[in-house]
Each structure stands twice: as C-alpha cells, then as structure tokens.
Amino acid sequence: MMQITVTVNGTSYRREIEPRLLLIHFLRDELRLTGSHWGCDTSNCGACVVWLDDIPVKSCTMLAAMADGRRVRTVEGLESGGRLDPVQEGFAQCHGLQCGFCTPGMLMTARWLLDHNPDPSAEQIREAISGQICRCTGYENIVRSIQWAAKHSEPAG
C-alpha cells in the first residue's frame, strides 16, 4: 500500500492505495466520482478522459500513483458556481449525446480544445476527438455541439 495526495476538482484527497490501482478506479471507486467511465482497457475509446494537471489523459491506462501531488479535473469539475460550462450547454443544445457514456470524456477534450483553439474548424474538432469513440451519434452532433460551445465561450484571459 502507498499513500497519495491528489487534488481533484480543487479538493485535496489523501488516500492509501494499492500501487497498481488505476486512476479511473481511484476516481470512480475511491472518490465516488463516477462521471468518468471505463470503456475499453486499451486507450482506444476515451470514455475515461480526465485532465492531469492541464492535459487530457486516458485514466484507464494511468496509475493513480502517477497522479500523486498533481491536479486532476473531471467532468464533475466543469460546472462552476452553478453555471454549466459552454461545452456542457452545447452538448445539450445540439443533441451531442444519446446514451451519455462517452459524453464526459468528450466534454473534457472539448474544453481543452477550446481553451487552446477558441475557434476550431470542423476538421480540427474531428481531429481533436479522434482518440475517442462514440457509438451513438456518428459524431455529427458532437462536432456541432463543440462549435456551439465555441460561439458561446467567453474569450480566454
């Protein structure tokens, strides 16, 4: 067993864990933050995407121990002060989800994209989410959702 301290969505958690514990299971089973999902084991589907420090990572192929002393942001940390993030609004406005299983990972990638490219083209959006799989939407409305969010996001800085 080992001790780690991880700041998740602004709250610091200290936990005793097995060194082999995956970050996705730490978030879901230990912290009960079940918004991030596990879908494939092989880093292909992206249902588990969260931010580590400020970079999207696939938490099914990272150890919780690797997050020791670092910051994690999950879908539960998108809403702030009772206000939805524009990417959350965008997915609801443009029917960017059906079963909702891939949605949290898609939202985290979308937020990262818009932070770094506030006005992405459709091709840039498709490229950004190409490491993630959605089985329901055929991606069309996910692209539209992120475009909606780009239009409704406040300028960075």
Partner 1 sequence: MTGPPVPGQQEPASPAPGAYGPVRRKEDARFIRGRGRFVDDIQLPGMLYGAILRSPLAHARILSVDTEAALAHPRVEAVITGETLARRDLAWMPTLSRDVQAVLATDKVRYQGQEVAFVVATDRYSARDALELINVEYEPLPPVIDAERALDSGAPVVRDDLGKTSNHIFDWEAGDAAATDAAFASADVVVTQDMLYPRSHPAPLETCGMVADLDSVSGKLTLWSTTQAPHAHRTMYALVAGIPEHKIRVVSPDIGGGFGNKVPVYPGYLCTIVGTMLTGRPVKWVEDRSENLMSTSFARDYHMHGEIAATRDGRILGLRAKVLADHGAFNATAQPTKVPAGFFHIFTGSYDLQAAHCQVTAVHTNKAPGGVAYACSFRITEAVYLVERMVDLLARELDMDPAQLRLRNLLRPEQFPYPSPTGWQYDSGNYPRALALAMDMAGYDELRAEQAERRQRGEYMGIGLSFFTEGVGAGPRAHMDILGLGMADGADLRVFPTGKAVLAISVQTQGQGHETTFAQIVAQELGLTPDDVEVVHGDTDVTPFGLGTYGSRSTPVSGAAAVVVARKVRERARIVAAAMLEVSADDLEWTGGAWQVRGDPEQSATIPQIAMAAHGSVELPDGVEGHLDAETVYNPPNLTFPFGAYICVTDVDPGTGAVKVRRFIAVDDCGVRINPMIVEGQVHGGLADGVGMALMQVIAYDENGNCLGGSFMDYLLPTAVECPSWELGETVTPSPHHPIGAKGVGESATVGSPPAVVNSVLDALAPFGVRHADMPLTPASVWSAIQGRPLRTDLAVS
Total residues contacting partner 1 by CB under 8 A comes to: 60
Q: Does 23 bind partner 1 (CB under 8 A)?
A: no
Q: Does 13 bind partner 1 (CB under 8 A)?
A: no
Question: Which residue of 143, 149, 150, 153 would you call a contact of partner 1, by CB under 8 A?
Answer: 143
Measured from the CB atom, the residue of 59 and 132 that comes closer to partner 1 is 132
Q: How distant, in Å, are the alpha carbons of 14, 16, 67, 98 from that of 103?
A: 28, 30, 23, 9
Inter-helix orientation angle 140-152/86-93, to 10°: 140
Stretch touching partner 1 by CB under 8 A, among 39-47, 64-72, 111-119, 148-156:
39-47
Measured from the CB atom, the residue of 6 and 102 that comes closer to partner 1 is 102
Of 79, 82, 61, 84, give the one whose Cα is nearest residue 131: 61
